[in-house]
Amino acid sequence: MDIRDTRAVITGGASGLGAATARAFAEAGAEVTILDRDAHGSAFADGIGAEFAQVDVTDEEEVVDALDYAADRMGGLNAVVSCAGIATAEKTLGREGPHRLESFQRTIDINLVGSFNISRLAAARMTEGGVIVLTASVAAFDGQKGQAAYAASKAGLTGLTLPMARDLARSGVRVMAIAPGIFRTPMLEGLGQEVMDGLARDVVFPQRLGNPAEFAALARFIVECDYLNGTTIRLDGALRMA
């Protein structure tokens, strides 16, 4: 699929990896609609020539309305890049007791259920085929302490990729996942330079944090390479979390 023929919905597109992807796609000539809970995403969308809809990815009615709006404004829909997600830091058994069930459930709901919700509803609107790109994480394979909820949600996305690709093959829809390592996003920058430098030292090569533009470049390559389907690509500088 030529990026100039792409009509893409990007969830979590108001910041971080999603924003970098939305910008890269729009600059390459794609039609883009950003879906995000943050209403401030509207200004960012205007700045890159994209559409915007405020939506909770776990809410079926909101997603249906947002996808209908996107398809109407773009003249169809043939790509989804699902970047909406949250990260929690909580041990299974910590000093204050067991992991809170509500925080585990919320992480699964947004990262895994929300991604599936977008994917299934978007696929129904891809009448001429398309591609779905999920955002997993290296935590799916190398989850660290305090990442039980996050790692489980991202492992769920890697496990979802192949069966969903098989389900959607008859509709001409491909499904891929990207498992990014440690990327320089606003959330990570909030931890400070010293913390970021320490994290970068664990990356094999190049020994630095990932640039969101590199994630966007891979997402574009997946969209344009029709033979990529049903698998997860690690984007991590050979990082293996201790």
The amino acid at 163: P
Give CA–CA dist 54/66, Å, rounded: 8
Structure-token pair, residue 114: 């929300």
Give yes or no for a contact between 167 and 123, defined as CB atoms under 8 angstroms apart.
Answer: no
Residue ranges of E strands in the chain: 7-11, 31-36, 51-54, 79-82, 93-94, 97-98, 130-135, 173-180, 232-235
The set of catalytic residues is 150
Reference 157, options 226, 82, 212; nearest CA is 82
The two three-digit tokens of residue 193, written as one number: 């330079």
Give me the sign of the Cα torsion angle 233, 115, 148, 14.
positive
Q: How does strand 232-235 pair with strand 173-180?
A: parallel
Assigned token pair, 232: 């997860």
SS3 (DSSP) at 20: helix
